[in-house]
Structure 1
Amino acid sequence: MGGDREPSPASARPHVLLLCSPCMGHLIPFAELARRLVADHGLGATLLFAAATDTPSEQYASVAASVPDGVKLVALPAPPTLPSTAAVRERTVHAAVSSVRHVREIAQSLTSAAPLAALVVDMVSVPARDVASELGVPCYMFFTSPWMLLSLFLHLPEIDAGLVGEYRDATEPIWLPGCVPIHAHELPGSLLVGRSSDSHAGFLSVAKDTSRVDGILVNTFGALEPAVGDGMDGVAELPVHAVGPLVWTRPVSVNRDHSHVIRWLDQQPSGSVVYLSFGSGGTLTLRQTTELALALEMTHRRFVWVVKRPDEDTASGAFFGTRRGEDDDDELGFLPRGFLQRTSGVGLVLPSWAPQTAILAHASVGCFVTHCGWNSSLESILNGVPMVAWPLYAEQKMNATMLEVQAGVAVRIHADADGFFSMEEIAGVIRRLMDEEEGAGMRKRICELRDKAKQALTKHGSSALGLAHIANTWTASCSEK
């Protein structure tokens, strides 16, 4: 196993170059993957972040300040900005494609100091594969979402070619090997617009790129998704390894002092607090934010709520992060009049950013109201905290279905005919999870899954062995040159 060897001097170590598109949800597991390659397998690691904005977001700055020793994190220059009306996926792909020339320069520079073992890209950064080909090194994808989405990507060209009409009108679900059925309304938004649209074409292009790499690492584990790697015959001849759950395990350095949050949690009874966060990118409308606030009052439960400024146009309004000072404590005027005063004894409202890992690990937290982003889902599992699923965009509806139907560790909030979540529905689901037998059963299941997740990451666990196999393959290929 890679961790059994004596580490070589940093300058002579085989080096892995990792390229992450401008997605905070990708950067966090990429940083943890890089840390493990360095700490456990004696490799060097340089992590490149293909920035979409000139000024780093507060979230990026927080991660950058906490990157472990031995991992070099570099923010690449942002490309010329696309119009503000451009979709998140379009801006993300634009940044990733524009980064390739910088990746080439950095890769060539690295090879003059140490052998380059591999290039690792995310699902959006596959165009950089050409750099790996030029240098004669393998290009692997680190897929930071679940196997269920990767399986959809790998099968999508075939599914798309055989589909008559629009995805949104399909009455039969999509069946992927070993996965729960995917109904039309659960598909990523890019598939629900017209198939003649640029959005659909771009999504299909990213899906086709998935099979253009030499192998894939998936941020999941066998006990959660037993079908990892199933159904590949005739689709792609690629090695696929589950290496997760890789989540942020180090304390995050932030400008704001959040020690008061932990002190407040210390004073609350075990399992009594509802934690609410919609990830680094998720946003609600003003009306929905108001309804959620009123629902929290209705439950009479203790809570910690990470809240962002409402966005009327998109559910991913903070996708590229918030700027420093954007959401200060004195800028919560969009909350219902008197809400902060009425709930001051039972709840905390945190603008924009919170020490999520520490909060979920705290014994006083009883459930997590989440957008079902994959990082948040894995963090909740690793801490044995059952989830209230409130998906917003991307593959989050698929994640929510898998967590509820297959894993049995989440309960979904259901919207009305207009897609709105009422205060009664929100409060009712929270009460089910916090007070009723259903919640107790879910808590038992997620604690069992937590133990299996931790086992997968131990030295002889399935995920650790999968990563060790790949790291050893990369190292051996360097020594053969």
Structure 2
Amino acid sequence: MEARTHIALVTIPVISHQVSILEFAKTLVNLYKNIFHVTCIIPTISNSLSISSKPFFDTLPSNIQCIYLPPTNFEDIIRNEVVLESQVQISVTRSMPLVRETLRSIISTSSNNMVALIVDAFAHEAHEFAKELNILSYTYFPCSAMVLSMCLYSSKLDETITCEYKDHPQPIEIPGCISVNGTDLPDSVQERTNVAYKLFLHRSKQLRLADGIIINTFLEMESKALKAISQNGILYGTTPNVYPIGPIIQTRTTIQKNKSKCLLWLDNQPPNSVLFISFGSGGTLSQDQINELALGLEFSNYKFLWVNVKPPNNKATATYLSNEEVDPLHFLPLGFLQRTRGQGLVMCDWAPQVEVLKHNAVGAFLTHCGWNSILESIMHGVSMIAWPLFAEQRSNAALVTNSLKIALRAKCNSKGIVEKEEVANLIKGVMEGLESEEIRRRVKKLQKFANCAMMEDGSSMKTLSMLALKWMGLGRPIEN
């Protein structure tokens, strides 16, 4: 009987986080075949997987097992209308007794060989269970090193800045990173008297509890931030070792019949001619913003593929933890679909994003700046229009526009709306002209670094191998 080295994961009920940590697990088990077994414990908020996420879980390798916990009740949290990060944090916290029980059940089996627990940053309470079980614990940080630096530095910022961050007159310095406007810090820090801010500070402090922080970025892209985190103990206090193992992106998508429509459409378009538009798994726009975006696409005269369109809502995260089913196409401007029939394709369905981005017809990506989407765009050398909506997405937008310079950023009017003229100008700017050529050159260069990092002798694979060998050394030998 084989006693494979066992790694346990604890993720959160947000599909982007689940995909990231499970793709990390797939990379590990594929790199060391027949050595590792991974169990992923998943808190849930409903009794079933969404249609868009089910194909991903169905294609996981046999040595990755998922355990879905019973749904937690957090309806009272939604009624309080706290920000998304706090909804997730509180719902995960309520799942912790079940996480502990599940871990104890796994480790009690005679054949178990568990050596490490890796938990999402929002599931930091689970580090305590690793200590109880006498195994190593790691935080999996599915965001940028810039955001990690900001989190680790948050206590210092809290001491030195007395006003609301959004009202700070100067850009705020983050060690190893570009300075950012206070309005570009995550949603959870925008109201310092709010429960969300207190949870953010607490979660950031808990990053120090782990034996290490595994982060989905790569050295060649964020070397200054990673260096600052590892060397600036005076700024941060005691910080665990940080292991950049990215870019980890979704490597395989099962394309259902209704999802192949967009790829077939792309097959009939000229190279680099299409703007791909997606606001992620939960992002929503107001009715006014839907109108302006649609009209801007139409006026630009550029081809476009707009997927995962949702009904309007004034709250950007309205559908993130919801399964409400309404036909969003009814909310598009009157006659828009007819007028743009030869110009674009609009879909309510979730598209196979990785396959779309690698398609040679795609010339640019209008994205909400979720970290997974940014990494996927970089891995496929696609320029971006940054249109952040919530959470840390504005920080990501600042990184890709002001630091990496691989994107143009949408500018809002005084009412927070990106007007149709701005939309059309952005599209033109990223699709043609000298500026677009410079952006494309930079993203293609970064693409080469990203792919090199994931090669056998690349920076990220060396880091992952170092971790894997350490875990293998802690496990029992495989029995014949």
Take 1:54 and 1:95, find their aligned partners in 2: how far apart are those partners? 15
Distance 1:322 1:248, change over 3 A: farther
One of 368, 372, 395 as aligned partner of 1:371: 368
AA in 2 matched with 1:258: K
CA contact (8 A) 2:55 2:253 kept: no
The alpha carbon displacement at 1:96 in A equals 1.5
Task: Please name the residue that 2:7 is paired with.
Answer: 16
Question: In structure 1, what is the Cα distance between the partners aligned to 2:259 and 2:311?
Answer: 23
Q: 1:127-206 maps to which residues of 2 (within 5 A)?
A: 127-193=125-191, 195-206=192-203
What letter is aligned with 1:376?
S
SS at match of 2:331: coil
Q: Deviations over 1:396-436 (max 9, x none)?
A: 11111111111111011111122110000011010011111
Aligned residue number for residue 291 of structure 1: 292
Sequence identity, in percent?
A: 34
CA RMSD of aligned residues (A): 1.7
Shift of 1:93: 1.2
Give secondary structure in 1 for the equivalent of 2:347. strand
TM-score under structure 2 normalisation?
0.93
The Cα offsets for residues 236-267 of structure 1, whole Å up to 9 and x where unpaired, read as 2311011000010112355x522221111111
Structure 2 unaligned regions, length at least 5: none
Question: Helix, strand or coil for the counterpart of 2:16?
Answer: helix
Contact 2:281 2:308 in 1 (8 A): no
Match in the other structure for 2:353 = 356
Distance in 1 of aligned mates of 2:407 and 2:105: 47
Structure 2: distance between partners of 1:100 and 1:472:
29
**What residue number does 1:108 align with?**
104
Measure, in 2, the Cα distance between the counterparts of 1:150 and 1:44: 28
Q: Which amino acid aligns with 1:230?
A: A
Secondary structure, in 3 states, of the residue corresponding to 2:423? helix
CA distance in 2, matches of 1:462, 1:394: 29
- 1:123 equivalent in alignment to 2:121: yes
Which residue, 441, 444, 459 being the options, matches 1:444? Answer: 441
TM-score of the two chains, using structure 1 as the length reference:
0.93
**Distance in 1 of aligned mates of 2:6 and 2:398:** 39
Give yes or no for contact 2:36–2:63 (8 Å, CA) kept in 1: no
For the 8 Å contact 2:285–2:314, the answer to whether it is kept is no
Deviation of the 1:199 alpha carbon: 1.8
How far, CA to CA, are the matches of 1:210 and 1:174 in structure 2?
A: 21
Task: Tell me how far 1:55 sits from its aligned partner.
Answer: 3.7
Question: What residue in structure 2 maps to residue 428 of structure 1?
Answer: 425
Q: In the TM superposition, what are the counterparts of 1:4-83 in structure 2 within 5 Å?
A: 11-41=2-32, 42-83=35-76
AA of the residue aligned to 2:444: C
Question: 1:418 maps to what in 2?
Answer: 415
Judge which range, 165-174 or 262-271, deviates more.
165-174
Q: Which residue is 1:97 aligned to?
A: 93
C-alpha distance in structure 1 between counterparts of 2:157 and 2:51, whole Å: 40
Q: Distance in 2 between matches of 1:309 and 1:400?
A: 22
In 2, the alpha carbon distance for the partners of 1:347 and 1:66 equals 31
Greater mean alpha carbon deviation, residues 387-396 or residues 96-105:
96-105
Which residue does the alignment assign to 1:477?
474
Partner Cα separation in structure 2 for residue 237 and residue 366 of structure 1 = 41
Structure 1 residue runs of 5 or longer lacking an equivalent are 1-8
Amino acid of the structure 2 residue aligned with 1:183: N
The Cα shift of 1:177 comes to: 2.3
Describe the SS at the equivalent of 1:54.
coil
- Cross-structure match for 2:233: 233
The CA deviation at 1:479 is 4.3
Structure 2 match to 1:6:
none
CA distance in 2, matches of 1:94, 1:198: 11
Q: Deviations over 1:101-137 (max 9, x none)?
A: 2222322232222210111011100101111111100
